[in-house]
Amino acid sequence: MRCFLGFDLTAAEKLQLQSWCDKALPPLHKAVPPANYHITSVFLGQLEDDQLDHLTQALDTLNWDAFELHIDELGYWKKPRILYAGCQHIPDGANAVHRQLAAIAHQAGINVQHGHYVPHITVARKVVEPVPSPLFQPAMTIRLSQLHLFESVSGKQGVHYPIRRSWPCRLRSPGHRL
């Protein structure tokens, strides 16, 4: 099973991001369907049953605080040719969860990519330069309060990401600074 750990967006957040794409960007050839919008924390790749068991058992014991991401910029990665909505400031909570999940994956025998973590929502794939400039930047806040194990499933209709398991985060009051 090909998997990743990450966060889903609510239906309202997916519609809000799609509305921004429709208003701020030209039509995109390989636009990601709003149903596929998500934020990956750790890409796991192909998992064996024992790796999945070890991973889920470790995740069952964890507690971390929910956090918010302020989606406020359009970005582009040249090598994978991905256009994404991201955040100028990465909150400590996002980095802490990413590091913790990467360590758990490593303990389960899963090789994960190391490097600078950039939480993002892919809005288009196979984008050829020149990259379109948005008419205005996105401006939305997403509260991430539940971690999910997603499976990446390819089919005739394209790829989709069913949620296979979920873990709630601790919630703090909305006025608490994350």
Q: Residues with catalytic annotation?
A: 38, 120
Whole-number Cα distances in Å, 114 to 29, 58, 97, 103, 110:
30, 20, 14, 10, 12
Contact call for residues 72 and 87 (beta carbons, < 8 A): yes
Short-list 73, 103, 93, 104, CA closest to 145: 93
**Peptide bond just before 130 cis, omega within 30 deg:** yes
Spatial separation of the C-alpha atoms in residues 173 and 135, rounded to whole Å: 34
Spatial separation of the C-alpha atoms in residues 47 and 45, rounded to whole Å: 6
DSSP state of 89: S
